[in-house]
Amino acid sequence: MGKDLCVLAYSGGLDTSVAIQWLIEHKDVDVVALAIDVGQERQDLEIVREKALSIGAIESLVKDVREEYVSDYLSKALKANALYENKYPLLSAMSRPIIVKHLVDEAHRTGARYIAHGCTGKGNDQVRFEVGIAALDPDIEVLAPVREWDLCTRELEMDYAKARGIPVPTTKANPYSIDDNLWGRAIECGVLEDPWVEPPADIYTMTNDARAAACDTPEYVELSFEEGLPVALNGEPRSFHDIIIDMNLFAGRHGFGRIDMIENRLVGVKSREVYEVPGALTLIQAHKALEDLCLERDLLHYKLGIEQKWAELVYNGMWYSPLKEALDGFVSTTQKLVTGDVRLRFFKGSCVVVGRRSPYSLYDYNLATYDAADTFDHKAAKGFIDLWGLPTKVWARQRRKVGKDGEV
Ligand code: ARG
């Protein structure tokens, strides 16, 4: 009988390269390496594919899932205006569920017993992988080499790799931990671990320094949405995928889209995170502006709470969960009339909404205006306030009678 199979989420980096050998040695498995293209800027994935084979994987695959990532994952994030802790557009949390889906598909195709990932024991990503895998197939067993092995320093890992002929990076080690995809780029570790230290200029690759941003005059962009998703840029029909790529470049050039925050990880640790998310932040801002115009007040207010819960669930690895699916249903219903255009002005690190219009706009000029066209019934306000304020009056009278603390 052959050995058990293990599908490994492979990135081509040192950790997952060492993991191939480690799994073979310590778990007695055959390794199938799977690299997923979610739009990361890095290396040539064909080289990554071959590298896994050269280290000892019996099969190595690269899957380009960018279109699916945009249509089935990022579209939901945008409709939900997803920002964890009102700031972070969830770029890492968004890519893990689609990676998990393809790992499980591959495990089923090959009949693998195991899936392995290269996450440490301290982050959110391990949770997202393992809970996601359990949701899609609770019988698959998970292996987490980096969490299990005792190669706790980079030097030990390099020694292990060199002794086994695993290619190691020849350039000086990048002190940062980077994760990136179409929705942006996350930078952790190194000097960033001191929350008092200003992020060094050289950590950024997607955004210019706002002070040095290329343009000395403001530039405008018009984004058109249909049912909550962008469909055109400056009047030219474009795919959502292309619009993300274009807005990453455009907003990044203007120095918009940097975040420096302290974030609460699911595992209980506060961490300092730096993100570059020019496209994601631009699109969420524009989408919100259109919703302000098109969504009825109660729905808009209720949705804000749903958005927060949605972001929290996705951050916490619950993409595949009944509550998250039900919230998707709610969000999707709200988007039917989120159609129209938003105009944005970019200048030296800022992105400002300066115009919005929609065939479904609920903005009524005659109700809003203070000039002669006013149709708002000012007199009706009096009766409205009398009844709206009635409970307050009753309470105030009673309080006066019994005193502040309820004493007579
Ligand atoms: N803190 C972010 C999150 O949990 C980013 C994680 C980035 N991951 C990484 N392996 N560097 O979503």
Contact 250, 346 (CB under 8 A): yes
Banded pLDDT at 41 (limits 50, 70, 90): confident
Q: Which residues contact 251 (CB under 8 A, 6 or more apart)?
A: 207, 257, 278, 279, 281, 282, 346, 351
Quick one: average pLDDT of 374-378? 92
> pLDDT by residue (tens digit) across 268-308?
999 999 999 999 999 999 999 999 999 999 999 999 999 99
pLDDT, position 215: 81
Ligand 1, atom 6: closest residue by C-alpha: 92
Tokens 């997607």, located at residue: 206
Give the largest Cα separation in the chain, rounded: 88
Contact 269, 122 (CB under 8 A): yes
Q: How many Å apart are CA 226 and CA 244, to the nearest integer? A: 15
Please state the pTM of the whole predicted model: 0.96
Quickly name the fold that domain 5-175 has: Rossmann fold (3.40.50)
| Residue 16, ligand 1, Cβ within 6 A | no
Specify the length of the chain in residues. 408
Q: What is the CA(342)–ligand 1 centre distance, in A?
A: 31
Ligand 1, atom 1: closest residue by C-alpha: 273
pLDDT, position 96: 98
State yes or no: pLDDT of 68 exceeds 90.
yes
As given in the structure block, the two tokens for residue 201 are 């200029």
How far from the centroid of its chain's Cα atoms is residue 231's Cα?
20
CATH of 365-401, one of 3.20.20.80, 1.20.5.470, 3.30.830.10, 1.10.1670.10: 1.20.5.470
User: Does domain 180-357 fall into CATH 3.90.1260.10?
Assistant: yes
Indicate if 246 belongs to the active site.
Answer: no
pLDDT, position 213: 73
State yes or no: pLDDT of 408 exceeds 60.
no
Q: What is the CA(124)–ligand 1 centre distance, in A?
A: 7
Catalytic residue among 125, 179, 180, 246: 125
How far from the centroid of its chain's Cα atoms is residue 318's Cα?
13
pLDDT, position 376: 93
Residue extents of the structural domains in the chain: 5-175, 180-357, 365-401
> pLDDT by residue (tens digit) across 303-353?
999 999 999 999 999 999 999 999 999 999 999 999 999 999 999 999 999
> pLDDT by residue (tens digit) across 158-204?
899 999 999 887 777 788 999 999 999 999 999 999 999 999 999 99
For strands 229-233 and 236-237, give the pairing. Answer: antiparallel
Indicate if 400 belongs to the active site.
Answer: no
Indicate if 177 belongs to the active site.
Answer: yes
| Residue 186, ligand 1, Cβ within 6 A | yes
Q: What is the CA(92)–ligand 1 centre distance, in A?
A: 5
| Residue 125, ligand 1, Cβ within 6 A | yes
